[in-house]
Structure 1
Amino acid sequence: MARPRPPLAPLPPPLLFLLLLAAGAAPAASQQQVPLVLWSSAGDLWAAETQAHEGHITPDLQLASYLEAALRKGPRTVLLFLQDKLSIEDFTAYGGVFGNKQDSAFSNLETALQMAPSSLILPSVDWYAASTLTSYLKEKLGASPLHVDQATLRELKLNDTLPALLLLRLPYTTSSGLMAPKEVLTGNDEIIGQVMSTLKSEGVPYTAILTAVRPSRMVRDLSLVSGGVGRHLLGEDSEAKTQSPPLTSLAPVSYNDTEPRILFWARNFTVTYNNEMRDLTELTFGTPTLNMTGSSWNSSFAQLVMTYDNVFGSFLMVKFILSSQYYPVSARSWFTMDRIEIFSKNTHVVFNSSHVTAPSAYSFHCQYVSSELFNEGLLVASPDSSWHVSLQNFQIQAFNLSGGNFSYASDCASFFSPGIWMGLVTSVIMLFTFTYGLHMILNLKTMDRFDDHKGSTLSVPLME
């Protein structure tokens, strides 16, 4: 079925044709979006209310209306930064726009947005619509895309009166896979900064667009999907599904001031020092005498402190440090477990745990959170550290608790688990075997001539 067309922002035939072709694949692609960021040297291109609200997926027609406004009122020089892959979670995992500049992979992008008279951030754009940007801009500007880099951009003599579409391709990761995604994103951000400096030095008015050809990962947050209903079994109580209770009789650790603020639970909690392991599970969960002195909470920072006596000879103190921050690019607040700290035997060790992150309205769950390499742990300590921490079936939440229970869990597991890959490979092998056998059967041929035992026999006269 064709999508309805509002009277505003008519689409050119090439873009409309591509979008109609993509409509047949809409059920499979509805959960895949890419962020799109626009900024311009011209002011008042987009009204303040056009910023996308939380969970909104920008469709093709709405995106066309934003671009139509920029091309009609803004500069005729359009700069398209087209990255191979990019997702909303890349901003939150590797720094985020308007985050900490010292540890951000998007510092130059942040500076460009802050200095731009006009900017527009669309956290979730249908990636089929984003992938047709080049064709759309070519049709609207009447200019073919010119592939440039930092060197060729300095040699170009741009004319303000003539339209120009400059295309810069940015990789997401190298083909060898030796560089981490954050390093590649940081390199891409440096390219953006150099290009912006070149345009500024030459005084060229511009409109810049940053987006991607396809998402770098599947959307893990089901509330971003249109409808936001999530996955559940038929007849299952939706209210019961919103919380993830512990799997054993041991109650989770709960820090309260006027009401429950921090919840923490694990099936197994162990700490190892110089190959000497201590199981803290029974000492932590379901124990009313657990010492949580030093714990604190506010709307943006949480600290869970647990102290154990007579562990490793004296005492052991474990701190979970969490923070919550609003990210305009993802249009929501996310919390991160920044680090785990251990104090004992006059030593202090810090485990970086910044990969433990989830929307602040959710809890975080992972099958293994460990500093051991064989568990693919999310905790990172210094290479010479003698301490190790391991948590099995780990779950934590420090913000937006409801009734003292865990909210819906954002799980660290990837969509394609080893079991799914095994099933897919086995199915492909069986399908190939079946197809080959069917091909052999269909190509069987009978003999053209054969002996008739009921007919007369063939006689051969002897020659004398």
Structure 2
Amino acid sequence: MTVSRLASREQSFAERLKMAGPRCSSKVRLIAFIALFVALFATGSATAQVPLLIWTSESLPPLASPAAGHITSNDQLNAYLTSAFSSGSHTVLLFLQDKLSKDDFTVFGGVFGNKQDSAFQNLEAVLQSSSSSVTLPALEWSGSSAVLPLLKDKLGVSPLPVDADTLSELTINASVNNLLLISLPYCTGLQKSCKEVLHINDEIIGKVLSIVKAKNVLYTAVYTGVQPSRVISETSVPNQPVGRSLLQAVVADVSPPIMFNVSGSPCIMLWAQNLNISFTSTSPWLDLATQTPSLAGSLCNQTNSLLVLTYASGFVLSFAMSQRFYPGSARNWFTLDSVQLQSSGQTASFIGSRSIYAPAEYSFHCQSVNSFDQALLVPNNTNQNTSQWRLNFINFQIQGFGLGNGTNFSYASDCAGFFSPGIWMGLVTSLVMLLILVYGLHMIMQLSTMDRFDDPKGPSISVPQSE
């Protein structure tokens, strides 16, 4: 279905909704609004963009609903904010989340399921009760968010960072322009799921709005992201005939693995979705996978491999591997012996546990390799810095031997055991049921009939009684 046909359908849907007039209840209007919002989401362009929601306790200038697939430019947003804040004083609440994409609403919202399971309950409720709201499903994003600079320019004031606690003690002068900045985090996949983080952010939004309403201050709220949480790259298809296609695939950007070559042949390969490091249990995580390292100092031979990743930020991450022949299995196995992290003249070392191993011709893969929760990397107690520093490698795969001339990983030996807890429960339950069945069959086979019966036509059976 083309974008023009989708746009015409959405326009006719909006016209029918307007014709319903007062007969359409607020609940139906909200469901229709969310359905239209999702329809706009489903046809977005494969470029970097962030959604933007605006609602107010006063009134906003009217804005035509964007056509399906339309990306609002910064110039269009600038023109609209000019008309919205052209006169009078305004108190603007900017909820600026670290990352936000339209997929967050469709995946973690309650559009397709129970509303009680939505991560945006307060946001959906305030959009329903607001006297005026504007939704921009796709706002142009080009390396940095333009919302905060635009609001600073329109209001002529600098943003004041606040949270729910400081806002309750803050006195807001409604006779002048105010720009209150509420920063919201986004999930990192390390401690809490994305839905939990978005639910907590939604509760913060609801708490801030309740405080502002308690102060009897008219406000305009803006909810957007500093950058998109999901960016899909457009892939060109050269020399392909233009026509209808039943299936189309969009390939997301995936960084290539880190490869150390010797004499033009690959020797060591490493890939990880995240290479997170932290210096204390409370300090934020730093992802080294987003940086391009230097491989100076790396080496490999038939028995030992050392991969040294030197980053421009001053961090040095080293992986030491070795292989040896085990007579019991009659084959060579390689192990990740240690991981070393250096920064600012300090060194922390971690010893690879016995779980990080694989046949020499295989690669090793694990969804999570960390040093603190069911640790596969055991801190080296001889180094005092190791007890404070933490490592967490997500979707980690490494191979130090047996690459040959290939440019891809060999078959992966995964850290997850073959017999999961669910499989063990099924096997034990099946065994118990089998034992009950065998016992029942055994009892049935032990049943025997009486060897003598009482014949009513013959003499009765007499049982002598002793006196």
TM-score tier after normalising by the smaller chain length? 0.3 to 0.5
Higher relative contact order (CA 8 A, sep 6+): 1
TM-score (norm 2): 0.44
The structure that has the greater radius of gyration is 2
TM-score (norm 1): 0.44
